[in-house]
Amino acid sequence: MLTSVDRLLFVRGVLIFKELRDDFLVRVASIMDELSFPAKHSIFTQGQEGRSLYIVVKGRVRVHIGDRDVTQLSEGATFGEMSLFDAEPRSASVTTIEPSECLMLTQQQLYDAIEETPGIAINIIRMLSRRTRELNQKINALEDKIHRR
């Protein structure tokens, strides 16, 4: 498990928390839960209610819909953030590829943090926009490939 200093240094390097003040990061880092999962463990499944965001500290996870992989994530990557905002069921499943450690931030913890430091909401919006663009590019590439056949 991470010491409080290691936790702060790690969280500081996570994309959605970049550009935020250290006093805010100290608070957020201290309230996150640390979770350890064995290999091939289902962290959550598509369709489940979700109210937490996860950050991979160590290990790798796969994001998948059924048997089809969407992506693999490793150290510093976040997942689960969409359900924090839209109260919809999880859009995909996440399963560990190898033993993994994650930090978890709940919806209420995040809302309290956004109320205190609105800049975090902008960073999350940027991350979600970037993921949407990447998915659109993948879809367009697949459609182009299909149309060329």
**Residues of the chain above pLDDT 70, percent:** 100
Mean of pLDDT over the chain? 88
- Which is higher by pLDDT, 78 or 25? 78
The three-class DSSP label of residue 53 is: strand
| pLDDT tens by residue, 11-25 | 988 887 777 778 778
What's the domain count of the chain?
1
Q: How far apart are CA 53 and CA 11, in angstroms?
A: 13
- What's the whole-model pTM score? 0.80
Alpha helices in the chain (DSSP H): 4-12, 22-31, 82-86, 107-116, 119-148
Could you tell me the CATH number of the domain that includes residue 81?
A: 2.60.120.10
Print the domain residue range for 14: 4-148
Q: How far apart are CA 122 and CA 15, in angstroms?
A: 11
Q: How far apart are CA 28 and CA 106, in angstroms?
A: 11
* Residues 96-114, mean pLDDT to the nearest whole number: 91
